[in-house]
Amino acid sequence: MDKIIGIDIGGTKIAIGRADVSGNLEESLRFPTNVTRGYKMILEEIIENTKGLFKNQPIRAIGIGCGGPLDSKEGRILSPPNLPGWDDVPIVKDIRDIFNVPVYLENDANAAALGEFHFGAGRNVSNMVYLTLSTGIGGGVIINNRLVHGVRDSGGEVGHQTILPDGPICNCGNKGCLEALSSGTGIAKRFRERLISGRDSIVKTWVRDISNIDAKMIADAAKLGDTLAKEVWDEAIYYLGIGISNIITILSPEMIVLGGSLTKYGDDLFVKVKEIVKERVKLVPVEEIPIVQAELGDNVGILGAVAVGLLGDER
């Protein structure tokens, strides 16, 4: 049976794996990106580690998932903020020239969506929206079994819909994006701002420096009944529910899949989101649209890249 190599490139770590066409991960490895080394040195390490996964296996293709901006058609990565110095690098050509197999590139959030769609929670539907709730909020939209790329691969930015027109400034430059309100970074930032303004919380006793407070601590404190933590956590879930309600109203997909670290912090996240969606969505039969936990866990990056390689130009 043919195999697919998946390469998941992040600013902190790179993960590479070999899987069969059904998404069964046979072997994988991870190593730190060390972005200060620059593109050429990192590429060399990617190539050497990828060679180690070939092992005389029949490799059909290689898929790559990487943070944007990028040009998936041309196979080029275009100066992503978490990979300094990767300025219009032809990564598809560089890897294809070494291995002489088809190589495909996709935005990492889109790749993760494809992974969940083909190998995870969405494998029995044709229309699905995936959100990853972590440091930021990314996602991917799949309609009639095809990924929505949009103009210049900019489609599917579900985390950058405006929820509060005059809300906090987002990293994208807009105000009040879902990401600024409901991501791990946004939650921690708003919590720290309220501490600085004079509010109190048990979380202050858990750290020496409030800059070390993260969303998991806030979720844990909320479970313990901490007033400020519960306030900030509940607000974030409320805004998340509004964002998902918007998506459902516009697209009416067969399924919403939520992944990322935040889905593991609050046991009540899914319950509350479903309540908000039921309350706010009026024109779509929400009872027929399940909102479910992603299934691929820590392997979503690799298996997303595997899905990119498996589907090739048909994605």
Q: What is the dihedral of CA 65, 70, 76, 82, to 10 degrees?
A: -70
pLDDT of residue 314: 84
Backbone angles phi, psi at 244, to 5 degrees: -70, -35
Global confidence as pTM: 0.93
Give which of 4, 12, 16 is closest to 301, Cα–Cα: 16
Quickly tell me which residue has 């970074």 as its tokens. 185
Bridge pairing between strands 146-147 and 137-143: antiparallel
Q: What is the dihedral of CA 153, 37, 51, 20, to 10 degrees?
A: -40
pLDDT of residue 265: 85
pLDDT of residue 56: 84
What DSSP string describes 224-285? TT-HHHHHHHHHHHHHHHHHHHHHHHHH--SEEEEESTHHHH-TTHHHHHHHHHHHH--SS-
Taking each helix axis as running N to C, give the angle between helix 215-223 and helix 227-251, from 0 to 180 degrees, rounded to the nearest 10: 110
- Give the distance, in angstroms, between the CA of residue 207 and the centroid of all CA atoms in the same chain: 28
Q: How far apart are CA 240 and CA 25, in angstroms?
A: 32
Q: What is the mean pLDDT of each run of 10 residues along the chain (315 residues)?
A: 93 94 94 93 95 90 93 92 92 96 95 96 96 93 95 90 95 94 96 95 94 95 96 97 98 97 86 96 96 94 96 87
- Residues 6 or more apart in contact with residue 49 via CB below 8 angstroms: 16, 29, 31
- Residues 6 or more apart in contact with residue 41 via CB below 8 angstroms: none
- Residues 6 or more apart in contact with residue 259 via CB below 8 angstroms: 112, 116, 130, 131, 132, 133, 293, 294, 296, 300
Where do the domains of the chain lie, and which CATH numbers do they carry? 3-115+298-314 (3.30.420.40), 125-294 (3.30.420.40)
